[in-house]
Amino acid sequence: MADKVLDAKGLNCPLPILKAKKALKDVPDGGTLEILSTDPGSVADFQAFCRTTGNELLESGEDGGVYTFLIKKTA
Amino acid sequence: MSEENNGGNGINPNSMSIIVTKGSLDWAYPPFILSTTAAALGLDVTMFFTFYGLPLLFKKLHLKITSLGNPAMKMPMMGGHMGMPNLLSAIPGVDAGASVMMKNLMKKKGVASIEDLRELAVEADVRLIACQMTLDLFEYTRDDMIDGVELGGAATWVEIAAKSHINLFI
């Protein structure tokens, strides 16, 4: 179970990333943030976000058009 | 050569500057999308607003699109895509109608408004600089703009750009 869940379904680029960045502020160091998105572009974008910010992308998946990402706050 | 430049070029690897020169609805998106995203990725971002980009800093925005000089513009319509000939723009109300259509489409597709992106940019400490010469030229004042805007000129941007890793002109 993630420390915080962000529902970014229905939002388009760059809102899922911007909201995730904000949501991470409420996650303790070492904690996790789960993000739900319907934007197919967010798959590549969350990888780039994590590589650039130094946070860890633990899991990503897709089910019925909803993409899920689990990010560990390490930065 | 200043002290801080000794042994390095003084460039902050995590920094970006954008010159914003256009203020129509469609052209307002790239600079605000990139600035907010870069800030979210941890970059120090500066936006320099000049000429027709300057009104994007006004308190109240009235952004419009036009088909004029925009031959690639096609709007989704009834399952297809409708071209927007230049001539259409000459008919009163067409640009206003197309602007409303575009805004509705953006809302439907979950695209943020420019007002929202601008607010996010301010929250993310993106530095907003208004071109002083443009203010004078078009007879605007500091009071026309939102709070937190700095005033500056070409040298202000050049100083920032010389230390920025990414510099864009939009």
Minimum CA–CA partner of B14 in chain A = A52
pTM: 0.89
> For residue B88, is it within any domain?
no
Q: How far is CA B62 from the centre of its chain?
A: 14
pLDDT at position B72: 84
pLDDT at position B6: 43
Give A-chain residues touching B41 at CB under 8 angstroms: 17, 21, 48-49, 52-53
CATH of the domain at A53: 3.30.110.40
Integer Cα distance of B39 and B46 in angstroms = 10
With an 8 Å Cβ cutoff, are A14 and B109 in contact?
no
More confident residue, B166 or B76: B166
Q: What is the pLDDT of residues B40-63, one digit of tens each?
A: 999 999 999 999 999 999 999 999
Residue B170, classed as helix, strand or coil, is coil
Give A-chain residues touching B33 at CB under 8 angstroms: 13-14
**Identity of the residue in A10, A49, A53 whose CB atom sits nearest the CB atom of B110:** A10
To test the contact with chain B by mutation, choose from A13, A21, A49, A71 the residue with the greatest count of B C-beta atoms within 10 A, namely A21
Number of structural domains chain B divides into: 1
Q: How far is B80 from chain A (nearest CA, A)?
A: 22
pLDDT at position B2: 45
More confident residue, A41 or B6: A41
The three-state DSSP-derived secondary structure of A3-46 is CEEEEECCCCCCHHHHHHHHHHCCCCCCCEEEEEECCCCHHHHH
Residue A66's nearest CA partner among A24, A21, A22, A5 is A5
pLDDT at position B89: 85
Give the pLDDT band (50/70/90) at residue B8: low
Residue A44 structural domain: 4-72
Residue B27 structural domain: 12-65+112-169
> For residue B155, is it within any domain?
yes
Q: How far is CA A66 from the centre of its chain?
A: 12
With an 8 Å Cβ cutoff, are B120 and A18 in contact?
yes
Give the pLDDT band (50/70/90) at residue B105: very high
* Mean pLDDT in residue range A54-63: 96
Lowest-confidence segment of A11-20, B8-17, B145-154 by average pLDDT: B8-17
By annotation, the residues of A acting in catalysis are 13
Q: How far is CA B151 from CA A55, B39, B57, B132, B163, in A?
A: 35, 21, 12, 6, 19
Integer Cα distance of A51 and B62 in angstroms = 37
The ipTM value here is 0.87
Percent of chain B beyond pLDDT 90? 75
Q: What is the pLDDT of residues A23-33, one digit of tens each?
A: 999 999 999 99
Residue B4, pLDDT > 90, answer no
Answer whether A40 touches B (CB < 8 Å): no
pLDDT at position B70: 83
Answer whether B170 touches A (CB < 8 Å): no
**Identity of the residue in B41, B110, B111 whose CB atom sits nearest the CB atom of A49:** B41
Residue B91, pLDDT > 80, answer yes
Tokens matching residue A13: 């680029």
Percent of chain A beyond pLDDT 90? 97
DSSP 8-class letter at B58? B
pLDDT at position B9: 79
* Mean pLDDT in residue range A50-69: 96
More confident residue, B34 or B9: B34
> For residue B55, is it within any domain?
yes
Residue A11, pLDDT > 60, answer yes
CATH of the domain at B45: 3.40.1260.10
> For residue B73, is it within any domain?
no
Cα angle: A51, vertex A10, A30; to 5 degrees: 35
* Mean pLDDT in residue range B130-158: 94
Following DSSP, what letter does each residue of B84-106 receive, concatenated? --GGGGGSTTHHHHHHHHHHHHH
**Identity of the residue in A11, A12, A14 whose CB atom sits nearest the CB atom of B36:** A14
Percent of chain B beyond pLDDT 70? 95
Cα angle: A50, vertex A16, B35; to 5 degrees: 75
> For residue B37, is it within any domain?
yes
Number of structural domains chain A divides into: 1
